[in-house]
């Protein structure tokens, strides 16, 4: 587990509402957003909580620094943590940093290979209205993460950064963008040769042979590549700082211009992968150039159209003012009409400007430049198998761990699952009912919170992709769920583990017997295959010894007559009442 504070370099870009909108946005992905949690807020919804936090920040007028603290808690690949543990970890980290009483909104994200939690914290205290900034937060976070790994049984991670400064930023660029950095290229290609130099001339010669140049800059030294990309010399190692080099070789001596062509030189290209990506990268460069040209042309067309619309609006406003001038109205009436015409022109121009801004936003989104890794991800989502293979060949890509299913066989080319998302490591995330199943090309992973339907869906996917022989890895509980899913779904699978396969066969036989008994036990029909009692086996019996229903005397005919229905009884009562009334009238007439 790693906890990292994402610092905002520019205070003008600090926006609590924008941060919360980002971390709570599903981005059209079914399983990206997990649990959203509001802490120390009176509001019950995210929208109201944002307004409450912004009101608290507005109450502090003295603080000039960033008032929002963005914290990310990330777990090891394949590690699944339940919601209660995530909430406890969040509370302990915020308490340890001193934000226990501060307002915060957190959201769990499942759209990458690492389960992670974004926490947006208000640095303004809700009661005191004072700002709080943790002191050396990276040390406190490292200690907290180490302690919680022990307490919650999580996988241990390295909490202290191995790289710092420019070296760490270069490593992040290679991991996220997939493009080789100058620092990484030098360390992989010629660092040993640079260390072996014994004088300034030899050092400059090695630099020139690799397309590099060592120059003095301010009080230090920089290494400049042929494409004008430069890094501090001390970033390559403390032995390459200016004081250390001058202690070895004497005062700095500038290098002389070399006429010979270098043996190799740094190019801003993808990091070397296990697969050849030359054609893919050429296609990527061509598409980026096309997108840039299309964006320029579209922006120019939108600007010209905006100018034409504004011109038409001004002509229309001028005609309206001319018409007002020709009217024979009073001075006050004309003044009111001119004011209305000016307001109408201003409203038209504002509407045109708003439409132009929306068009520009749409153009930038449609022709946005993408990093190499993002472009591969986009192509993989569109069904490009070469791009997906390139993502999975990256050094950062690692196999899925935890509760996984693995089949033995070849992938069926006709099988295309419904993709919900693809990570930068080439892991496919697709829907399985209300849960998500991950596929790294070798095995399938089912999350801990997935139901039995998701496990059964993952089994079917593994069968369709790799064959009927399945290898199950994970906890004993997960293995038991897989066996039960295979038996309940009557799936024709075979487990590679003999113990699991024996258990599956035993449950399958028991299930078949149970189903047969359930089918045979009908109302009034005895079960098939039951043996008679011992006294009745292999013996002849008289009719009086059989289980039969006998009648002592003949039932009377009246007893077996059917009972009249309720409607017939009602008709009989009405007929009797009518007969009684008729008889009464006749009797009264005779008396008169």
Given a cut of 60, whether residue 543 has pLDDT beyond it is no
Distance in angstroms (rounded) separating the CA atoms of residues 428 and 442:
11
Q: Where are the domains of the chain?
A: 2-152, 181-249, 278-372, 398-518
Distance in angstroms (rounded) separating the CA atoms of residues 495 and 507:
14
Confidence grade of residue 20 (pLDDT, cut at 50, 70, 90)? very high
pLDDT digits (tens, 9 = 90+) for 319-366: 999 998 888 788 888 899 999 999 999 999 999 999 999 999 999 988
Tell whether the torsion through CA atoms of 73, 76, 77 and 82 is positive or negative. Answer: negative
Closest residue by Cα to residue 356 from 317, 298, 290: 298
**For residue 185, what are the contacts with CB-CB under 8 A and spacing of at least 6?**
266
Helix (H, G, I), strand (E, B) or coil at 532: coil
pLDDT value at residue 94: 94
Distance in angstroms (rounded) separating the CA atoms of residues 211 and 213:
7
pLDDT digits (tens, 9 = 90+) for 454-481: 788 788 878 877 777 888 887 788 888 8
pLDDT value at residue 95: 93
Lowest mean pLDDT among 41-45, 318-322, 405-409, 532-536: 532-536
Element (H, E) at 412: none
**Residues 2-152, CATH architecture:** 2-Layer Sandwich (3.30)
SS (H, E, C) 334-392: HHHHHHHHHHHHHHHHHHHHHHHHHHHHHHHHHCCCCCHHHHHHHHHHCCCHHHHHHHH
Distance in angstroms (rounded) separating the CA atoms of residues 463 and 411:
10
Give percent of the chain with pLDDT exceeding 90.
Answer: 27
Lowest mean pLDDT among 76-80, 379-383, 448-452: 448-452
Given a cut of 80, whether residue 431 has pLDDT beyond it is no
Given a cut of 60, whether residue 521 has pLDDT beyond it is no
Alpha helices in 448-524 (DSSP H): 452-466, 476-488, 498-520
Strongest mean pLDDT among 129-143, 270-284, 389-403, 514-528: 129-143
Lowest mean pLDDT among 17-21, 122-126, 467-471: 467-471
Q: Are 93 and 4 in contact (CB under 8 A)?
A: no
pLDDT digits (tens, 9 = 90+) for 84-119: 999 999 999 999 999 999 999 999 998 888 889 999
Residue 591, CB-side half-sphere exposure with 13 Å CA sphere: 6
Name the residue with higher pLDDT: 25 or 271. 25
Confidence grade of residue 434 (pLDDT, cut at 50, 70, 90)? low
Given a cut of 70, whether residue 437 has pLDDT beyond it is yes
pLDDT value at residue 228: 84
Other C-beta atoms within 10 Å of 141: how many? 22
């Amino acid at each position: 587990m790693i906890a990292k504070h994402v610092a905002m370099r520019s205070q003008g870009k600090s926006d609590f509402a924008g941060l919360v909108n980002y971390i709570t946005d599903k981005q059209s992905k079914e399983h990206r957003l997990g649990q959203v949690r509001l802490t120390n807020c009176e509001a019950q919804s995210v929208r109201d909580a944002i307004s409450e936090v912004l009101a608290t920040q507005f109450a502090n007028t003295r603080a000039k620094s960033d008032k929002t603290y963005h914290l990310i808690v990330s777990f090891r690949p394949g590690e699944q943590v339940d919601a209660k543990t995530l909430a406890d970890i969040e509370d302990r980290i915020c308490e340890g940093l001193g934000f226990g009483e501060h307002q915060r909104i957190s959201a769990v994200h499942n759209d990458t290979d690492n389960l992670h939690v974004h926490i947006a914290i208000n640095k303004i205290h809700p009661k005191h209205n004072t700002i709080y900034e943790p002191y050396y937060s990276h040390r406190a976070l490292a200690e907290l993460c180490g302690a919680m790994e022990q307490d919650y049984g999580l996988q241990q991670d390295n909490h202290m950064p191995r790289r710092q400064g420019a070296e760490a930023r270069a490593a992040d660029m290679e991991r996220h963008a997939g493009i080789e950095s100058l620092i990484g290229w030098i360390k992989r290609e010629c660092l040993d040769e640079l260390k072996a130099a014994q004088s300034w001339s030899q050092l400059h010669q090695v630099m020139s042979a690799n397309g590099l140049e060592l120059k003095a800059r301010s009080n230090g030294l920089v290494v400049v590549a042929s494409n004008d990309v430069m890094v501090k010399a001390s970033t390559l190692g403390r032995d390459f700082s200016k004081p250390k080099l001058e202690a070895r070789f004497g005062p700095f001596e500038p290098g002389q211009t070399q006429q010979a062509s270098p043996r190799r030189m740094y190019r801003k290209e993808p990091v070397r992968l296990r697969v050849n990506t030359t054609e893919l990268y050429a296609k990527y460069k061509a598409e980026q150039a096309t997108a840039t040209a299309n964006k320029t042309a579209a922006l120019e067309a939108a600007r010209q159209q905006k100018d034409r619309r504004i011109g038409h609006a001004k002509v229309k406003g001028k005609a309206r003012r001319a018409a007002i001038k020709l009217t024979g109205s009073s001075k006050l009436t004309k003044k009111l009409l001119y004011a209305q015409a000016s307001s109408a022109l201003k409203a038209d121009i504002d509407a045109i400007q708003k439409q132009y801004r929306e068009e520009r936003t749409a153009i930038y989104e449609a022709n946005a430049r993408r990093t190499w890794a993002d472009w591969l991800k986009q192509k993989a989502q569109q069904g490009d198998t070469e791009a997906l293979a390139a993502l999975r060949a990256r050094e950062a890509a690692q196999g899925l761990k935890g509760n996984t299913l693995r089949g033995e066989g070849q992938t069926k080319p006709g099988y295309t699952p419904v993709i919900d998302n693809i990570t930068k490591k080439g892991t496919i995330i697709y829907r399985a009912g209300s849960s998500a199943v991950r596929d790294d090309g070798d095995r399938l992973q089912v999350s801990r919170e997935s139901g039995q339907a998701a496990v059964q869906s993952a089994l079917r996917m593994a069968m369709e992709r790799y064959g009927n022989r399945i290898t199950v890895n994970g906890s004993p509980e997960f293995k038991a769920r897989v066996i039960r899913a295979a038996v309940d779904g009557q799936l024709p699978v075979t487990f590679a583990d003999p113990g699991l396969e024996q258990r599956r066969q035993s449950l399958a036989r028991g299930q078949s017997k149970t189903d047969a008994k359930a089918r045979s036990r009908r109302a009034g029909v005895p079960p098939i295959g039951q043996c008679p009692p011992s006294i009745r086996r292999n013996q002849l019996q008289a009719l009086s010894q059989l289980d039969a229903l006998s009648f002592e005397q003949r039932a009377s005919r009246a007893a077996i007559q059917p009972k009249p229905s309720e409607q017939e009884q009602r008709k009989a009562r009405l007929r009797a009442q009518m007969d009684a009334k008729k008889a009464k009238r006749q009797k009264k007439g005779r008396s008169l």
